[in-house]
Structure 1
Amino acid sequence: MELTSAAAGLLRRLRAAHGPLMFHQSGGCCDGSAPMCYPAGEFRTGASDVLLAELRVTGVGEPVPFWMSRSQYERWSHTRLVVDVVDGRGSGFSLEAPEGVRFLIRSFMA
């Protein structure tokens, strides 16, 4: 799993404002298939989730865990995943929402 420079920059700003962070991406409808950024520990993961990566971001003291629902992971396990950020409105529950941008996953055949 990789990060674009835009995603890394946004994570640095969010970390400064909110403390340690985490991602979760479910396989649900609506914004459920978009990565959601939360303060670390604010989203409960369970047996139906897979820890895909602990993202290292220059300027952030701790890794940012990236969790995905097992069902979503099974569909994307054969791809290379890149966390990116684009202009637009995402979910109001994800920390970047007030910034006018949203995280998204770009997938490429591995």
Structure 2
Amino acid sequence: MPDHPVKSMEPQVSATPAALELIAEIRRDHPTILFHQSGGCCDGSSPMCYPTDDFIIGDNDVLLGEIGGAPFYISGLQYEAWKHTQLIIDVVPGRGGMFSLDNGREKRFLTRSTVCAA
């Protein structure tokens, strides 16, 4: 799996308490998971959560950090657009992405953001 170092002193990805609770719930069913934020047209601002063995990390994907014990990746193109942004993973009511492990739980992950300090 690619591992591009992050140069900021601030974590580039964090999770709210609600997101950490949902991650713990998902990990009871799927102990090893990962997140991927592609920024594609279908994903929008929803990070996708997958069993680790069900998703292949690409050579251009960037490891931003870890939330709830799960690695969090972002596509290289999305990273270039958001590299000065801190992503905050939250939970809102609704359905998760079709292939995301939050689907069917009546709550879904949502990415919020803030600009990182220089």
Contact 2:96 / 2:104 at 8 angstroms: preserved in 1?
A: no
Moved over 3 A (4+): none
Output the TM-score relative to the length of structure 1: 0.87
Gaps of 5+ in 2: 1-12
- Tell which deviates more after alignment, 92-101 or 31-40: 31-40
1:43-76 CA-partner distances (Å, limit 9, x unpaired): 1011121111122x3xxxxx20101100011111
**Are residues 1:87 and 2:93 paired?**
yes
Paired residues in the alignment total 104
Between structures 1 and 2, the one with greater helix share: 1
Distance 1:109 1:66 in 2: 18
| In structure 2, C-alpha distance between the alignment counterparts of 1:15 and 1:91, rounded to whole Å | 17
RMSD in angstroms over aligned alpha carbons? Answer: 1.3
The aligned residue for residue 68 of structure 1 is: 74
Identity %: 51
Q: Is the 8 A contact 2:95 2:102 kept in 1?
A: no
User: Normalised by the size of structure 2, how large is the TM-score?
Assistant: 0.82
Farther off after superposition, 6-15 or 28-37: 28-37
Give unmatched runs, 5+ long, in structure 1.
Answer: 58-62
